[in-house]
Amino acid sequence: MHLTSEDLSAILLTLQLASVTTVLLLVLATPIAWWLAHTQSRWRAPIAALVALPLVLPPTVLGFYLLIALGPVGPVGQFTQWAGWGSLAFSFSGLVLGSMIYSLPFAVQPLVNAFEAMGSRPMEVAATLRANKLDAFFTVAIPLAKPGFVMAAMLSFAHTVGEFGVVLMIGGNIPDKTRVVSTQIYGHVEAMEYAQAHGLAAAMLVFSFLMLLALSWANRRRAQTAP
């Protein structure tokens, strides 16, 4: 199996994109999931539906609307220009934004499940021990919900590695900036370079399998050693 330097830089970029997206998504998804798990608000159902919505649109279509939104006449584009950041289309930051929207349901749902499974009891106990809410959240809720976090991270990472349509639409195929593994494989296939496509696809599958396996084992062990 022979990988070109372009293939390797696509792999590296994919790992960067998936890592950055996963970290940012966990930060964003935690408060959303906490709120969804605990609120009695009548807005709960509509917000939950909104979070799940990226599942509905075909990724290239989602990417197309992102492209419009990021453009100079689109709402996001107007905001980023006003803020002096220029345009996000064809940039790594643009891909991160797109990936976060695309993978949002995969981060939020496992966290909601974990927070709901925890129930309100642990936080109440923490409160009687005079832990303030924030303190209790970090020292009680997060450790208890750890399997949920691991699951959310795994799904977000894997889903971003496999992301294609959104990147294709807003990426512009720029080496080292927006050319990720999935678009690189697609390019090989379209150019009828099947041997290279096979090599890169195999590398991606093996790597992802091993990574998911490792995470899954680590999660298992932690669950068993937990008090």
Restricting to residues 56-75, which ones interact with other proteins according to CB under 8 A? 64, 67-68, 70-74
Nearest-approach distance from CB 79 to other proteins, in angstroms = 15
136 CB-side CA count, 13 A = 14
Q: Taking CB under 8 A as the rule, which mask of x and - marks residues 156-175 in contact with other proteins?
A: ------------xxx-xxx-
C-beta closer to other proteins: residue 113 or 173: 173
Task: Choose the stretch contacting other proteins; rule: CB under 8 A; options: 24-32, 42-50, 82-90, 108-116.
Answer: 82-90
Please state, in angstroms and rounded to a whole number, the distance separating the CA atoms of residues 224 and 227: 8
Contact 173, 179 (CB under 8 A): yes
Residue selected from 34, 35, 137, 186 as contacting other proteins according to rule CB under 8 A: 186
What residue type is 55 in one-letter code? L
Query: According to the binding rule CB under 8 A, does residue 84 interact with other proteins?
Result: no
Q: Taking CB under 8 A as the rule, which mask of x and - marks residues 91-120 in contact with other proteins?
A: ------------------------------
What's the start-to-end Cα distance of the chain, in Å?
46
Distances (CA, A) of 180 to 91, 204, 221: 12, 11, 33
Number of H helices, E strands in the chain: 12, 0
Contact 125, 50 (CB under 8 A): no
C-beta closer to other proteins: residue 142 or 201: 201
Please state, in angstroms and rounded to a whole number, the distance separating the CA atoms of residues 102 and 84: 25
Query: According to the binding rule CB under 8 A, does residue 192 interact with other proteins?
Result: yes
C-beta closer to other proteins: residue 50 or 174: 174
Neighbours of 164 (CB within 10 A): 17
Q: Taking CB under 8 A as the rule, which mask of x and - marks residues 116-155 in contact with other proteins?
A: ----------------------------------------
In the structure encoding, which two tokens stand for residue 152, read together? Answer: 């959310």
Nearest-approach distance from CB 32 to other proteins, in angstroms = 29
Q: What is the dihedral of CA 198, 199, 205, 208, to 10 degrees?
A: -150
Residue selected from 34, 35, 90, 137 as contacting other proteins according to rule CB under 8 A: 90
Query: According to the binding rule CB under 8 A, does residue 16 interact with other proteins?
Result: no
Residues lying near other proteins in the complex (CB under 8 A) are found at: 64, 67-68, 70-74, 77, 86-87, 89-90, 168-170, 172-174, 183, 186-187, 189-192
